[in-house]
Chains A and B, each alone.
Chain A
């Protein structure tokens, strides 16, 4: 059977699979990490353990990487405009979410990072040459959100856009190979704001997108409910100062030592201390072996 007809034949199955995975409704990202603790979920599939994430500030700054995507012919100004529009879309929700985004100076560096003592940037960047993750280059965009796990306060958010293997377009897509950058950016902006995926089929934060379409550009009532739950009018706010945590650095300043201490968790029923030590030893052994091999090759 050809792929096209196969797709048509399976439309029903897919529709049920992807629409009903969660009954309906937005979910918030929380501090619960299933690698560390049990993270219960409600009937909609939303994580109920942990503290929901939110930016504590009323105003947040973001930067785009100054090279844009040479490969796709999308310059920094175009990306900056698309990201600005995407945040404006979220901000235009009926409840007037109490968070405003403004573009800061374009960044000269292209690093996803968070400094716990030095200045930072909430960066949007294209990866033109190499996509450095084990996903077969299939990821279109990857959002990394750094937060305080005791308060749920978001510290930093960086978004990588995979131009190395994907045809992202800044205009309306003209065929099924083209991916609408504005749709992807609007969806990722929802993650930056603290939203996880929604079971609502038409929502921007739903877990499906068909390339060649602009289906994720406009918020649905469910997206609006989500962003309004995170940033209601009555939340306590300070002055509007859109500076990243510890100040702004457009050059990916880095200061903190690489090691900030590790922490271990062990599956229920296992003895914590000894196993944690064993893992540390295993990890140490693995890295040592790799280092030795590299040294031998050099």
Chain B
């Protein structure tokens, strides 16, 4: 039953388009800030790694993820290569 007062209240917003915009922006902005903070050679290294990997397995661009972290006085470059079922064989 809808009471009279319900007409004065707007329904709780479901997944609104503004929410979607905010979530997408938070992801892309974080990623781009990470790239800006990293050394200049990272994009080139990423590209060349992909080329080398593709000599052996078929992978898409997102399957190689690189993160650079500072731990104490050393930097750790972590490279994650995800191989999905369909991509295993060349």
Partners in one complex: no
Which residues of B approach A to under 8 Å, CB–CB?
none
Which residues of A approach B to under 8 Å, CB–CB?
none
